[in-house]
Amino acid sequence: MITLTIDHIVVQVPEGVTVMQAAGSIGTEIPSMCYLPGHFNHPSCMVCMVRDAQSGKFFPSCAMPVSEGMQVITHSPEIREMRRESLELLLSDHAGDCEAPCRLSCPAFMNIPLMNRLIASSDFEQALQVVQEEIALPLLLGYICPAPCEKACRRKPLQGSVSICLLKRTTATVTKSREKIAEALIRPSGKKVAVIGTGPAGLAAAFYLLRAGHQCVLFDKNDQAGGSLRYDIPESRLPREILDAEIRVIQQMGAVFEMNRTITGEAFEDLVKEFDAVILASGERSQQPSGFPAINTHTMGTSRPGIFGCGAIVRPTGMAVRSAAQGRVAALETDIYLKSGKHKKSGITFHSVITHLFESELQEYLKESIPGPRTEPQSGFLAGFSAEEAVREAKRCLRCDCRKSSGCKLRILSDEYQANRKRFTGPERKRLTKSMQHDLVVYEPQKCIRCGLCIEIAGKEKQALGLTFVGHGFEVEIGVPFNQTIKEALILTALECATSCPTGALAVKELTIDN
Amino acid sequence: MVMKKQRESQSHIVDRIIAIHGRSMEAVIPILQDIQKEFNYLPEEALRHVCSHTDITPSAITGVSTFYSHFRSGKAGEHIIRVCTGTACHVKGALNVYDALCRELKLAKGEVTDPQGKFTLEKVSCLGCCTLAPVVKIDDITYGHLKTDKVGEMLHDFLTRQYGLKKQRNHRKKSVETTLGEIRIGLGSCCIASVSEAVKAELEKTLWENQIHVDVKQVGCVGICHQVPVLEVVKPGGQVAFYAKVKPEEVREVVLNHFRPEGFFSRLRMGFSGMIGNLLEEGIPRSFQRYDQEQRETPLQQFLEPQLAIATEDRGVMIPCDLEDFQHFGGFRQLKYCLDQLTPQQVIDEISLSGLRGRGGAGFPTGRKWQLVKDQASSGKYVICNGDEGDPGAFMDRMLLESYPLRIIEGMLIAAYATGANHGIFYIRAEYPLAVRRVKEAIHLCREKGIIGPSILGSAFSFEIEIFEGAGAFICGEETALIASVEGRRGHPSLRPPYPAFKGLHQKPTLVNNTETLSLISWIIRHGAKTFAVIGTPRSKGTKVFALAGKVRFGGLIEVPMGITIRQIVEDIGGGTIGHKFKAVQIGGPSGGCVPASHAGLPIDFEELITAGSMMGSGGLIVLDESDCMVDIAHYFLSFTQQQSCGKCTFCRVGTRRMLDLLEKFRHGSAREEDLHQLERLAASVKQGSLCGLGKTAPNPVLSALRYFRKEFEAHIQGHCPAGKCQPLITYHINETCIGCTICARQCPASAIENTPYEMHHIDVEKCIKCDICRQCCPVDAITVR
């Protein structure tokens, strides 16, 4: 047995064990990308750097064998900086979008590409579920949203952007059982929340509160619900039966609407006492009583516990979808407040982004799409797409989001270590390519971090050609011997390679709902 | 039909190659080397054939063949032109030569083979002929001191030789009666490159025609590489005359100055021409220089005086592959002594006591390394002589292997005896064909005499030695990468520990020693550890061999005692710089750094050099003058390491590239203040975060340049290159000294100078491609670079 210390804790492990394994034995996790137990490609990524306390030297913990009397430090500001730097270097040589530009430009961060794929496979129910993860009012917004997503769509130069906004509306129109889907999600929590205002922010907040199982009462000074949607937007843009239908969904989910109720400062204090939480969604601040507290634009919370805000009261949003997105955030924050009082770790905010696509790259992206111009609905904009039209239009999506957007270690760690993807940049960005020949996996070499794990996994298979490093140094790439295709390289190990790949370079081709 | 026949013969050839090297994974590099020798490149069909007839997988063969820069996957031209881009060549304008060749061969951008398929142009990291810089090698013929405007002539000369060369007769008579003396001719690579083969042929012809019985002795490198080719005439009685820079047409005269023809007729004939010769000697200047050894104060004396020859003992006297000659100088006596008189532990103790440290760069104590290997209980152990000298600007190992192969074998045998090893490998760069040939021959001789093989010299000690030719990867100088390469894998280093002393080649304890280290062993045994330890500084003992080159008057291979100062090397041995002021020395190549002239009092010592931000490295010592830009030098070294990175770990693969991108900005004048900080920070991370020595030391040239010449970096931020080197920041102009001779106008490849006889010329800055030809060909130095 070898005795060493890891972060000043004495550890005893058998000889031959690595520092990373020794750390694991006391529950200290060290990040890594290239390391996979049982393989010998590592160390390569150098994210698992730790420090020798005696010499001050850094070394990769995944490969360093323990030795008697070693003193290892696994976490310190310097180590964090080294790890961040290795991530930033890898990012400087990594070309790809974590998320599609449409999603990034959507104020609600809706998973548009996934919706498109589900529509393309005619699965409208699933598509609606995906939409409703971020968009409570798909039908309504399908009419009035200015669709910043379509301006960012990579398909734009290829005969027009994908008609995202209409596709989103179609998920609500084609699906018959929308309310049922919503109802089925409700699990009562026993908590009661007041929402002041029934505009896009208030309605969206109510939707997500109800989905989380909270009782919800909406207050509005007008006699009909809808706020700015009803009173500011002309009927020619938003037919009132559409607005009513959207409100009906929320009603059917259990929301109570208290109309003609102007909430003054006094009445507000009563609500605070009566309800477990209050969400302010009552429109522009100038028209509000003075008793409302100021709202934090990031968390939608206020200085007073249990009181949240969203929509134009925070700051004029100019877009119903932005108000609705804030309504969702306020509802989620309220939910956290009501359930545990604790914040769970918020989602990933790191995005690898390529701004402009080169002509050759557009052609690469077209490999996953169909040619042809943007579909115009036969029956006009107000009627929207038929299911068939929607399927065809959805197939125009280029699938420019990353297949590993949620499983990519480079992304997860870059997020964790707050890596700056622009810190090191090369003079020229690599041109993206997509290798689609294989039935099971897609290869995008420009996302590769050259860890060589796939080479080793493929090497286990004797029947196929396997993979290899081609060249050396900065230019080194993963390639197939004799310039053959990935299809000939991987027969039995393709899926193993794809699931082991730490980035989106090798990914499973097949579409799955949880991506 | 023809195609089929070709393929048949190709597979036949490949089968023959496989039969030589075997079918194991390990045979892959030798097999690839032979295939390339056969076809000038690696035809895919041939590689597929190898895979289907051996254990070598397609994945392995592709990985290996694309890793080593020696291997070509595309069809190459009839002849390969290799432009040396080593440090010495770089500072003497190798890139301009390369560009000129591109123009001459009319190569389109990105192309390397001319439209006729005659020539393929390549850059190589270092040919090890630094004193002849800039150097270009076409197939086996080396051209040195090449001027940009002379590349056309060079190609012409090559083609004429190629097709006009007749096999030269060997004039030398085997049986020699009484000899009148000895003529020694240096035949190191530098000498050969500078037509010493032709000198030798002429010498033998002269001797034969005149029936002069003189021994012609082909000795190894003399070290005086700046004066090659050299002839040394020794007459009985010790009279020695030394001729430098001899041309073939001058040989006759040299010989006849010393020796009289013997035959009646020839004597008669010679009497006549001898008179002419004497007459000629009077007034006409000649190209060769003659120095007598007795004569003091000659550059030769100054060059040799401060040196101390241990690794290079008997230089210029000993014949490289002559066992008798070697034994005459005491060779293999130390081996015998060790085998008969000393236990392995006593040998190690002696080496430890001598204070010898590894000459490969890091300076690990040799005795301790031997001890580690000895202490491992194992059925098999290896000794590897690391001759994968890849530093641009270093050619010590080449010279030692070419000139003293037997001495290094003796060193290896002693090391093997001491550590209990039974198998030895010489790992030699493929770029050193002469070294490979000499070592091969030496091994053969030793085997014949029972010095290599079972029961060496009648003892119980048995040892086998083989040669492994590297394939053009600097990283393989790193011991773990070297081992990977011998095992037939890509030269990826691995994390140490485990050290090769514990787990090396084939997982067996392995001693990896540098060539120079091994060449010091027999001297230490002969003279005793204490004698060795007297030389040098407290922590760095003995001597160090340096390849002195760059902007120095007398370059060459020198061996100096540790502790000698940089100033002594540059000024006393090297004779100082020419024209421009001495600015700095670059020591240790891509792992080392620059030491400025202001620190020239620094002694040569492992620790002192590191403190100064440099490193001993393997011993390249390039002198820089005021016309050298330190940003350019930093960029040069970093681009070398960056290209040589194996690509395994992030900090080296991407980090060095990003550093290079930053330096590129400086060279283009587009860098800003924050880039300087970014560069410094990144350099520090690459140093700390890289996996092996290559990456860990790669930032050194940049860091030392920043340390001593920060002002130059700042000047580049202002868009100014003080040395006038960085192409994007300079312009060429003609000053009033112009005499209107039109030479530049006629030579300019970009037609940027109008042909106006007897008028001052003018360079059109828009058209100028900064090829430097005008500056080189101007007879009156009228070209100014700003």
What string of H, E and C letters represents the secondary structure of B488-535?
A: CCCCCCCCCCCCCCCCCHHHCCEEEEEHHHHHHHHHHHHHCHHHHHHC
pLDDT of A237 reads 92
pLDDT of B193 reads 67
Q: Which of B44, B57, B653 sits opposite A473 (nearest CB)?
A: B653
Q: Which of A47, A64, A473 sits opposite B646 (nearest CB)?
A: A473
Nearest CA in chain B to A459: B59
pLDDT of B261 reads 61
* Adjacency order of strands within the sheet including A71-73: A9-13, A2-6, A71-73, A49-52, A58-60
- Where does the pLDDT of residue A345 fall: very low under 50, low under 70, confident under 90, or very high at 90 and above? low
Q: What SS3 state is found at B643?
A: helix
Q: Provide, as residue numbers in chain A, all residues whose Cβ is less than 8 Å from the Cβ of B63.
A: 468-470
pLDDT of B222 reads 67
A67 touches chain B (CB under 8 A): yes
DSSP secondary structure, B244-303, as one string:
ES--HHHHHHHHHHH----SHHHHHHHHHHHHHHHHHHHH---S-EEEETT-TTSHHHHH
With contact defined as beta carbons under 8 Å apart, do B389 and B347 qualify? no
Amino acid identity at A36: L
Nearest CA in chain A to B689: A58
pLDDT of B207 reads 80
- Count interface pairs A-B at CB distance under 8 A: 127
Scored b (16 or more CB within 10 A) or e, B151-185 reads beebbeebeeeeeeeeeeeeeeeeeeeeebbbbbb
A70 touches chain B (CB under 8 A): no
B538 touches chain A (CB under 8 A): no
Of the listed ranges A94-103, A466-475, B765-774, the least confidently predicted one is B765-774
Q: Provide, as residue numbers in chain A, all residues whose Cβ is less than 8 Å from the Cβ of B644.
A: 473
Q: Which of A60, A65, A427 sits opposite B661 (nearest CB)?
A: A427
Q: Which of B473, B653, B661 sits opposite A426 (nearest CB)?
A: B661
Percent residues over pLDDT 90 in chain A: 79
> Per the CB < 8 Å rule, is B646 touching A59?
no
- How far off is chain A from B51, nearest CA to CA, in Å? 11
pLDDT 10s digits, A79-89: 999 999 999 99
Q: Which of A58, A65, A475 sits opposite B497 (nearest CB)?
A: A65
Q: Provide, as residue numbers in chain A, all residues whose Cβ is less than 8 Å from the Cβ of B642.
A: 473-474
- Phi and psi dihedrals of A441, rounded to 5? -130, 160
A197 touches chain B (CB under 8 A): no
User: Closest Cα partner for B386 from B419, B359, B357?
Assistant: B359
Q: Provide, as residue numbers in chain A, all residues whose Cβ is less than 8 Å from the Cβ of B44.
A: 482
Question: Residue A255 contacts by C-beta under 8 Å, 6 or more apart in sequence?
Answer: A206, A210, A216, A217, A218
A36 touches chain B (CB under 8 A): no
Q: Which of B60, B495, B644 sits opposite A43 (nearest CB)?
A: B495
Q: Is the pLDDT of residue A53 over 70?
A: yes
Distance CA A35, CA A27 (A): 17
> Per the CB < 8 Å rule, is B661 touching A467?
no
Q: Which of A47, A89, A473 sits opposite B642 (nearest CB)?
A: A473
Q: Provide, as residue numbers in chain A, all residues whose Cβ is less than 8 Å from the Cβ of B688.
A: 57-58, 82
pLDDT of A344 reads 63
Q: Is the pLDDT of residue A342 over 50?
A: yes
With contact defined as beta carbons under 8 Å apart, do A350 and A409 qualify? no
B433 touches chain A (CB under 8 A): no
pLDDT of A182 reads 56
> Per the CB < 8 Å rule, is A424 touching B654?
yes
A497 touches chain B (CB under 8 A): no
Q: Which pair of tokens denotes residue B679?
A: 């560069």
DSSP secondary structure, B195-214, as one string:
THHHHHHHHHHHHHHTT---
> Per the CB < 8 Å rule, is B654 touching A90?
yes
Distance CA A481, CA A305 (A): 63
A18 touches chain B (CB under 8 A): no
Nearest CA in chain A to B62: A481
Q: Provide, as residue numbers in chain B, all residues whose Cβ is less than 8 Å from the Cβ of A65.
A: 497-498
Distance CA A124, CA B66 (A): 50
* Regions in chain B scoring below 70 on pLDDT: 1-8, 162-180, 187-196, 221-222, 236-240, 260-300
Nearest CA in chain B to A45: B650
pLDDT of B267 reads 38
B635 touches chain A (CB under 8 A): no
pLDDT of B273 reads 33
pLDDT 10s digits, B23-70: 999 999 999 999 999 998 999 999 999 999 999 999 999 999 999 988
pLDDT of B274 reads 32
> Per the CB < 8 Å rule, is B654 touching A93?
yes
Distance CA B778, CA B309 (A): 42
> Per the CB < 8 Å rule, is B657 touching A64?
no
Q: Is the pLDDT of residue A389 over 80?
A: yes
Which of A55, A468, A483, A484 is best to mutate for the B interface (most B CBs within 10 A)?
A468
> Per the CB < 8 Å rule, is B691 touching A449?
no
B658 touches chain A (CB under 8 A): yes
Q: What SS3 state is found at A339?
A: helix
pLDDT 10s digits, B172-208: 444 444 566 778 777 666 666 666 677 777 888 888 7
> Which residue's entry shows tokens 């790949």?
A501
Mean pLDDT of chain A: 91
HSE-CB of B41 using CA atoms within 13 angstroms? 14
> Per the CB < 8 Å rule, is B647 touching A479?
no
Q: Is the pLDDT of residue A199 over 70?
A: yes
Q: Provide, as residue numbers in chain B, all residues whose Cβ is less than 8 Å from the Cβ of A426.
A: 657-658, 661
Percent residues over pLDDT 70 in chain B: 89
> Per the CB < 8 Å rule, is B658 touching A58?
no
B495 touches chain A (CB under 8 A): yes
Helix residue ranges per DSSP H, A300-371: 320-339, 359-366
B689 touches chain A (CB under 8 A): yes
- How far off is chain A from B7, nearest CA to CA, in Å? 18
* Count of CB atoms situated within 10 Å of the CB of B779: 9
Question: Residue A180 contacts by C-beta under 8 Å, 6 or more apart in sequence?
Answer: none
> Per the CB < 8 Å rule, is A482 touching B47?
yes
Percent residues over pLDDT 90 in chain B: 58
Whether the bond between B405 and the residue before it is cis, its omega within 30 degrees of 0, is: no
- Where does the pLDDT of residue A23 fall: very low under 50, low under 70, confident under 90, or very high at 90 and above? very high
User: Closest Cα partner for B477 from B392, B542, B409, B552?
Assistant: B392
- Which residues 76-135 of chain A have a CB within 8 Å of chain B? 82, 85-86, 89-90, 92-93
With contact defined as beta carbons under 8 Å apart, do A471 and B647 qualify? yes
Q: Is the pLDDT of residue A90 over 60?
A: yes
pLDDT of A180 reads 62
A488 touches chain B (CB under 8 A): no
Q: Which of B63, B644, B650 sits opposite A89 (nearest CB)?
A: B650
Q: Provide, as residue numbers in chain A, all residues whose Cβ is less than 8 Å from the Cβ of B490.
A: 469, 472
Question: Residue B163 contacts by C-beta under 8 Å, 6 or more apart in sequence?
Answer: none
Residue range A418-425: mean pLDDT, rounded = 93
> Per the CB < 8 Å rule, is B59 touching A67?
no
pLDDT of A179 reads 61
Strand pairing partners for B593? B587
pLDDT of B262 reads 53
With contact defined as beta carbons under 8 Å apart, do B63 and B473 qualify? no
Q: What is the β-pairing status of strands A192-196 and A277-280?
A: parallel
- How far off is chain B from A345, nearest CA to CA, in Å? 29
pLDDT of B237 reads 63
Q: Provide, as residue numbers in chain A, all residues whose Cβ is less than 8 Å from the Cβ of B679.
A: none
Residue range A202-215: mean pLDDT, rounded = 94
The larger pLDDT score, comparing residue A406 to residue B224, is at A406
> Per the CB < 8 Å rule, is B47 touching A89?
no
pLDDT of A513 reads 45
pLDDT of B354 reads 97
Q: Is the pLDDT of residue A272 over 50?
A: yes
